[in-house]
Structure 1
C-alpha cells in the first residue's frame, strides 16, 4: 500500500524535459558583396531577439528563439543580415499558470541560446565575415520587462473601458 502511495505521489510531481532541438529557419544575406569586402570592417551591429511558444500536444510545447543580426557599415550599407529561428520541443507536465509561462519564456530560451549563437556565428563565417560571438542574454530580465509592459498595457486598456 505504501508503494502504491509513493507511485501516485511521484506521478503528481512536475516534470520538465527537452525532447528535441532543431533549426526551424535560417537565412543569410550579404546584399553589398563583394564590394563590402573591399571596405574597412567597422560595422554597427543590431541584434534583435524574439521568443515564441505554442502548444503542440498534451503537455508538449514548441519554443522558438529568433535572432536577427544586421551589420551595417558607416554609409548605412548593409554588410550582412542573418536570421536564425532555433526551436525546441519541451514537455512540461504538472506545471501551469505563471510557472509554466516562466519556464517557456526563461528556461527554454536559455537552453536554446547556445545553439542559435553557434548557428549565427557559423553562417556569418561562411558568408566571409569575421566570427560573431553573441553576448549572453538575460532571458529572465527580458521576460520580466515584457510582462511589466503587458501588465501596464492591460491596466491602461482597462482604465479606458471604464
Structure 2
C-alpha cells in the first residue's frame, strides 16, 4: 500500500501581547529637557514548541531613549503568536519559524510599542519595517562562521 502524503498545515492560532513594560526613571525632570533624545531599538526572535505541531514565536523589542547619559524612557515588549505547523520537511521549519511567523507577529508589536510610548506622554516611536528573511540569513551565516574551525596558524 502506498503511503499517503499529508498536506502541509500552517495556521495562526492566536496572536497576543505577552509582556510589556514602560520605565521613566528620570521623570519629571527629564521631560523639561528640550534636547532630542537618542533612540536605540533592539529586536529579537524566539521560537519554542508548546505541543505537538504547535509553536510559540515571540518577537521582542527594546526601545531605549536617552539624553546624554540619562534615560528618557525604556520600553520592553514581547509580542507572541501560537502557530500550528504540521507536515513540513525539517529543513523548512527553521525558515517558517524564523521568517514567516515573525512577519505576522511584528506589526502587532510595532503598534503596541507605539501605543505604550504615546500613552506614556511621548510622541510615538514608529519602528521600521523589518526584513526577517535578511535577518534570518544573517543569523544563519553568523552561526556557520562561528561553527567553522579556525584556520591553523603557523608561528615562526
- Please confirm whether the aligned pair reaches a TM-score higher than 0.5, indicating the same fold: yes
Which residue does 1:50 correspond to in 2?
Answer: 44
More helix by share: 1
Which residue does 1:28 correspond to in 2?
Answer: 22
Alignment partners' CA distance in 2, 1:87 and 1:96? 24
Alignment partners' CA distance in 1, 2:144 and 2:123? 41
TM-score by length of structure 1 reads: 0.87
TM-score by length of structure 2 reads: 0.91
Alignment partners' CA distance in 2, 1:126 and 1:36? 17
Alignment partners' CA distance in 2, 1:121 and 1:40? 21
Which residue does 2:146 correspond to in 1?
Answer: 153
Alignment partners' CA distance in 1, 2:46 and 2:21? 19
2:128 to 122, 130, 135: 135
1:136 counterpart SS class: coil
Larger mean CA deviation between 98-107 and 32-41 belongs to: 32-41
Q: Is 2:16 the partner of 1:60?
A: no
1:53 counterpart SS class: strand
Larger mean CA deviation between 50-59 and 91-100 belongs to: 91-100
| Stretches of structure 2 lacking an aligned partner (at least 5 in a row) | none
Alignment partners' CA distance in 2, 1:136 and 1:41? 26
Which residue does 1:14 correspond to in 2?
Answer: 8
Alignment partners' CA distance in 2, 1:47 and 1:153? 25
Q: Which runs of structure 1 show a deviation greater than 4 angstroms over 4 or more consecutive aligned residues?
A: none
CA deviation digits over 1:52-73, x for unaligned, max 9? 0001111110001000000111
Structure 1 residue 155, shift from structure 2 partner: 1.4
